[in-house]
Amino acid sequence: MRFKKLNDGNEIPMIGIGTWQLTEQEIGINALKYALKIGYTHIDTADIYGNQDIVKEAIKGKNREKLYITSKLWREFLDPKLVESECDKALMELDLDYLDLYLVHWPDRTKPLAEISYEMSKLKEKGKLKSFGVSNYTINHLQELLDQGIKVAINQVEFHPFLNQSSLLDFCNRHSISVTAYSPLARRKVFHDPDIKQISKKYSKTGGQIALRWLIQKDIVVIPKASSEKHIKDNFEIFDFELSISDMQKIDEIGKIRPKRLINPEFGDFEY
């Protein structure tokens, strides 16, 4: 397992398993237990996913110090007065004493985002979480926080070959904000892209493994979602090869030719 050091000194595993839409009890618990069995330690969940009870069952009896658990504050609770109670709710549902990472799930410019981040920093001081960050924040959102003296550890965003957010990544790198990619396989669209297919044959890897490796080489944390043992295992086997500079550049070009944002709810606040 490889780790990345965050700007607060903590470390995050470079690969985790995403759990969005993983809501069927038996399937979800078995999938997560298998992931933990083969070496995953990083599980990404959220209040709105409605599956923190599944995560709780999957991690029961495991060494807490070897796990990395992320949850998120849903946008309906973007009130400084509710941050701690929502965090406490997540801890109760997961049966944990602390979260490794707690994120503001979506930005809302009408809410006091800086104050909410400040409340999260207080939860860190209380030991209820180790790191705090944001999700789906654009450069403008992050700049607003930086202007008020607040630096988050992570920005979790949609990032895959069809949505190569290079400008956002450059901004985050300049300000020592780590990036986590959700939907890194673009809902399996990477398996059908002709360029990725060609590269996957060259390395004898799947299209998904190529896409994940591309992200890893950009120093981006990945949290692919999977429920079958085969896909969970495939996603984990990305550290035994390295893409050439030319193949990295070829994948970089895909987002310029065939750009596509897949997660764009009506409340999304994106610049493009």
For residue 155, the enclosing domain spans 10-257
Tell me the per-residue pLDDT of 10-19, one tens digit each, with 9 for 90 and over: 999 999 999 9
The yes-or-no verdict on residue 61 having pLDDT over 90 is yes
87-111 tens-digit pLDDT: 999 999 999 999 999 999 999 989 9
> In which band, very low, low, confident or very high, does the pLDDT at 258 lie, cut at 50, 70 and 90?
low
What global pTM score does this model have? 0.95
The predicted structure's pLDDT at residue 239 = 96
Give the pLDDT confidence score for residue 23 in this predicted structure.
85
Q: Is the pLDDT of residue 221 over 60?
A: yes
CA-closest candidate to residue 119, choices 148, 80, 145, 77: 80
Q: Please check whether residue 241 lies inside any domain of the structure.
A: yes
Whether 270 is in a domain gets the answer no
Whether residue 263 lies inside any domain: the answer is no
Is the pLDDT at 272 greater than 80, yes or no? no
- Whether residue 201 is contained in a domain is answered as yes
Q: With H, G, I as helix, E, B as strand and everything else as coil, classify residue 261.
A: coil
**60 closest CA partner among 29, 31, 21, 15:** 29
Residue 264: band (very low, low, confident or very high) from pLDDT cuts 50, 70, 90: confident
269 located within any domain: no
Instruction: Output the domain CATH number for residue 172.
Output: 3.20.20.100
Give the per-residue pLDDT at 260. Answer: 85
User: Tokens representing 216?
Assistant: 């890893």
Instruction: Establish if 265 belongs to a structural domain.
Output: no
CA 138, CA 160: separation in Å to the nearest integer?
A: 16
Mean pLDDT, residues 63-77: 96
In a domain, 191, yes or no: yes
Helix ranges (DSSP H) in the chain: 25-38, 52-59, 83-94, 113-125, 139-147, 166-174, 194-203, 207-216, 229-236, 245-257
Give yes or no: 49 in active site: yes
266 lies in a domain?
no
Strand order in the sheet with 99-104: 17-18, 42-44, 68-73, 99-104, 129-135, 154-158, 178-182, 221-222
- Provide the domain count of the chain: 1
Q: Does the pLDDT at position 162 exceed 90?
A: yes
Mean pLDDT of the chain: 94
Catalytic residue (choose from 34, 40, 49, 102): 49
Q: 25: how many CB neighbours lie within 10 A of its CB?
A: 12
Calculated CA dihedral for residues 75, 76, 80, 86, nearest 10 degrees = -90
Strand 11-13 to 3-5 pairing? antiparallel
